[in-house]
Amino acid sequence: MSKREIHSMPRRALGILCCMAVSSALMAQPKPPRPGFNLFSKAQDVQLGREAAAEVEKQYTIVNDAQLNAYVSRIGKKLASQPEAEDYPYTFKVVSDNTINAFALPGGPTFINTGLIAAVDNEAQLAGVMAHEISHVALRHGTNQVSKANLIQLPAMLAGTMAGKSLAGQLAQLGIGFGANSVLLKYSRNAERDADLLGTRILNGAGYNPVEMARFFEKLNAEAGSARTMQFFSSHPNPGNRVKAVEDLIQYLPARQYNEGSTSELARMKQIVAKLPKPREKK
Ligand code: ZN
């Protein structure tokens, strides 16, 4: 063995080690969360969501302000066009309600409380909550939970769904409604973690800093138990360590130049929200 070969050995060995380190890092790249067990078809998610949205719109005061609607629709469209959102017919409406909350029904109808718009520090935080809700839709968490509820009549009911028959009405007969405590909107901690992780991918793709989503949830958590946040945490239990989970995942995602959003536009939306008439009492 020549002197030269001996000298070059450690370097070659080092090269191999480096290669192994790089490939193990690539191998360790986390896979996106996937929807779980589900007896519903995707089309049934969409049908159920449409029927439930019609009910929600009767029960809640939907804000009819062109600027506010255009604002949430613009953010929503950007998020919904990411491949991880799957191709559901998303819609975005503002609900006149001072509590900090947002919710999405199966198949895409998404509702954003005025209280949420009033509470966010920047557009990325609002987009963050919306991306989290979109993730519940794409991961089909609502109908996954109904599927797991072990309802003996459910498979036959879903197989027998005919055009013109209300899926929501049939589910109501099985005791599944769309109120605050509905199994459709009460997620598990695992579902929350998955919605954060898929939401992180959606936000990164749309050019929003996903850490803002986690920061906002942590900020809400500091207020957990208050009347303003009760509804949110009763349907979205805190999975914990949210900022770290997002930061860990971002390392594997394509680097992006994040869009801060216009602070003056958000300030204008907050003004509109502040001037809205008091919401009528929920039925
Ligand atoms: Zn959630």
Q: What is the pLDDT of residues 257-276, one digit of tens each?
A: 998 889 999 999 999 999 99
Which tokens belong to 229?
A: 């946040």
Nearest to 111 by CA among 167, 71, 53, 55: 53
What phi, psi does 139 have (nearest 5°)?
A: -85, 0
What is the whole-number distance in angstroms between the Cα of residue 283 and the centre of ligand 1?
A: 25
What is the whole-number distance in angstroms between the Cα of residue 107 and the centre of ligand 1?
A: 15
- What integer pLDDT is reported at residue 279 of this predicted model? 76
What is the whole-number distance in angstroms between the Cα of residue 17 and the centre of ligand 1?
A: 41
- What integer pLDDT is reported at residue 3 of this predicted model? 47
Give dist(CA 178, CA 146) in Å, integer. Answer: 12
- What integer pLDDT is reported at residue 5 of this predicted model? 47
Helices (DSSP H) in the chain: which residue ranges?
A: 3-27, 42-59, 66-80, 114-119, 123-138, 141-148, 154-159, 167-173, 189-206, 210-221, 230-235, 242-250, 263-275
Which tokens belong to 254?
A: 């394509």
Whether residue 121 has pLDDT greater than 80: yes
Q: List, in order, residues 6 or more apart from 85 with CB less than 8 Å away.
A: 79, 134, 135, 137, 138, 202
Going from the C-alpha of 40 to that of each of 37, 97, 110, the distances in angstroms are 9, 31, 19
CB-neighbour burial class of residue 75 (10 A; exposed 0-12, middle 13-18, buried 19+): buried
- What integer pLDDT is reported at residue 163 of this predicted model? 57
- What integer pLDDT is reported at residue 263 of this predicted model? 94
What is the whole-number distance in angstroms between the Cα of residue 8 and the centre of ligand 1?
A: 55
What is the whole-number distance in angstroms between the Cα of residue 270 and the centre of ligand 1?
A: 24
| Residue range 136-176, pLDDT digits in tens | 999 999 999 999 987 888 888 888 765 567 888 888 888 88
Top mean pLDDT of 195-209, 212-226, 233-247 is at: 195-209
**pTM summary value:** 0.88
Which tokens belong to 46?
A: 């969409």
Whether residue 131 has pLDDT greater than 70: yes
Q: List, in order, residues 6 or more apart from 215 with CB less than 8 Å away.
A: 125, 243
- What integer pLDDT is reported at residue 26 of this predicted model? 55
- What integer pLDDT is reported at residue 144 of this predicted model? 95
What is the whole-number distance in angstroms between the Cα of residue 88 and the centre of ligand 1?
A: 18
pLDDT band at 184 (very low <50, low <70, confident <90, very high): confident
Half-sphere exposure of residue 232: CA atoms within 13 angstroms, side-chain side: 29
- What integer pLDDT is reported at residue 261 of this predicted model? 87
